């Protein structure tokens, strides 16, 4: 770990990892936490993928003792509280890099949040024009990492006082399962409507048609993670109209 963590909730998160006493590698604890947290969010509303993700959750949690298991709840609390205190940041992405978990072989050098915010500010007028023309707009990051760019768009839209939860669809994709789930967790906690796909965006990019199929059909190997806000009535109607348009 680099030792530069300044955010109190991120620091408390690190202390939780230290409670395992070196029994597991930091990467293993972090990856297991991310998978379980993502499963817990998904299973709160996504009934189509419930069985698959409940099995994933149980397979992971069984690795840990009864005294160790509650530590993961503490970790989740620090993420939630940290993002509530300051939503205008890449909480998990910053923590991931400070813990030294970036995989250099995969080119995991996350774009600083300040750069993502500048990019969002430059593009927000185009998003606004699309909203006025179509009623909503979509933002897609095919190499989303922990979701910094999508988070920056959400925060910039909120600052512009858009009804961004109903007007912007957030779509992310990443080859790395852990970082993709990090993006999913952060978008979900911020109340963004959308989904994240785990997979190679060059070989098999996400499509609306594929996403709609994955949302309604049971697939034990589904690589799509749909945020809770994407299940609200506004987006349900939009999906229905989209299906009619394609027929």
- For the chain, what percent of residues have pLDDT higher than 70? 92
Overall average pLDDT of the 173-197 stretch: 97
Whether 144 contacts 173, CB under 8 Å: yes
Overall average pLDDT of the 161-169 stretch: 92
Residue 210, phi then psi, degrees to nearest 5: -65, -40
99 versus 182: which is more confidently predicted?
182
Helix (H, G, I), strand (E, B) or coil at 209: helix
- Sign of torsion over alpha carbons 178, 179, 184, 188: positive
Lowest mean pLDDT of 53-57, 77-81, 149-153, 214-218, name the range: 214-218
136: left (phi over 0), alpha (psi -120 to 50) or beta: beta
Predicted local confidence at residue 45, as pLDDT: 95
């Amino acid at each position: 770990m680099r030792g530069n963590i300044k955010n109190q909730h991120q620091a408390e998160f690190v202390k939780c990892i230290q409670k395992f006493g070196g029994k597991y590698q930091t990467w293993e604890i972090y990856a297991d936490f991310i998978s379980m947290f993502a499963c817990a969010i998904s299973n709160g509303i996504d009934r189509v993928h419930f069985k698959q993700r409940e099995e994933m959750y149980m397979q992971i949690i069984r690795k840990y003792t009864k005294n160790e298991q509650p530590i993961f709840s503490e970790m989740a609390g620090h993420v939630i509280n940290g993002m509530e205190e300051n939503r205008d940041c890449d909480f998990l992405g910053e923590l991931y890099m400070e813990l030294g978990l970036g995989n250099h072989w995969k080119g995991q050098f996350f774009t600083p949040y300040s750069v993502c915010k500048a990019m969002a500010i430059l593009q927000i007028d185009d998003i606004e024009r699309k909203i006025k023309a179509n009623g909503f707009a979509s933002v897609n990051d095919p190499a989303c990492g922990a979701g910094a760019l999508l988070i920056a768009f959400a925060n910039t839209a909120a600052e512009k006082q858009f009804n961004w939860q109903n007007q912007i669809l957030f779509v992310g994709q990443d080859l790395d399962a852990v970082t993709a789930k990090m993006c999913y967790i952060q978008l979900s906690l911020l109340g963004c409507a959308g989904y994240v796909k785990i997979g190679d965006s060059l070989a098999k990019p996400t499509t609306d048609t594929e996403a709609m199929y994955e949302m309604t059909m049971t697939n034990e190997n589904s690589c799509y993670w749909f945020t809770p806000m994407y299940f609200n009535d506004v987006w349900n109607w939009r999906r229905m109209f989209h299906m009619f348009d394609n027929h």
